[in-house]
Amino acid sequence: MDLGDAITAAGVLVALFIGATQVYVALKQKAIGDRQADIADRQAKTTAAQGGIQAVSSWLPLLKDSDPNVRFNAVVALERVGSDAALVPLIAGLSDPNGGVRNRAAAAIGRLWTPSTVEIVIELLGNQDAGTRDAAWAALQKIGIEGVEEMERAIEHAEPNIKAAGLEAIGRIRLNEQVMRQISALQAHELLQAGRGALGDPSVVMPSSAAAWTAPYRTWLTP
């Protein structure tokens, strides 16, 4: 190997070394960036959780206020906090002496529920107070079909009266789901019929209301 070839080979080796170093540095920087992003994400979640707890704590005294309107507004505020920390006082709201507060708490639980929430609400179906039982029932209905599996697990080893009430609640949820699906299917069918009628399909007899609102579009919908 002459001097020129040796210099060329050395240059290639240097270039390879520089390239490898740059790749290593880039990977190292990416790893550091990913780690920093992970730390920032954890810090943000921790701050949010702490903020949620603090926000919930600030509303707890108002849930015991003598004025039901104040208690109602406290429930609304807890729902807006939107954290798991709000669920415990909201569940307590199902036992409020005022029906409006109970119903609002049930609606909030339906939006914020977790699997552990379902188990506690199921237990309230056996409460001695009829208003609390009704509110627990309403909360389960608000949770809806997405929580049925959790409900079934919760009543598996429950007391007979709670199990019976839970099965009834689940049955109503399933029935409501079937009804809503049927309504959606009917609405889709009516919309399709209206569309076909608007396109001038002679086999379709549209209701007068559908015929009225599709009439302006027939001129440009008809081929």
Per residue in 129-161, pLDDT (tens digit) is 999 999 999 999 999 999 999 999 999 989 999
Structurally, the chain folds into a number of domains equal to 1
Query: Does residue 99 belong to any structural domain of this protein?
Result: yes
pLDDT (tens digit per residue) in 160-211? 999 999 999 999 999 888 888 887 777 776 666 665 555 555 555 545 544 4
Farthest CA pair distance, the chain: 100
pTM for the full model? 0.61
Query: Which residues neighbour 126 within 8 Å (Cβ) at sequence distance 6 or greater?
Result: 133, 158, 159, 161, 162, 165
Q: Backbone phi, then psi, for 158, in 5-degree steps?
A: -80, 165
Query: Does residue 210 belong to any structural domain of this protein?
Result: no
pLDDT (tens digit per residue) in 64-75? 999 999 999 999
**From CA 103, how far away is CA 65, in angstroms rounded?**
17
Query: Does residue 30 belong to any structural domain of this protein?
Result: no
**Sign of the C-alpha dihedral computed for residues 119, 123, 124 and 130 taken in this order:** positive
- Quote the domain boundaries for residue 105: 56-184
Answer for the pair 142, 172: CB distance below 8 angstroms, yes or no.
no
Query: Does residue 222 belong to any structural domain of this protein?
Result: no
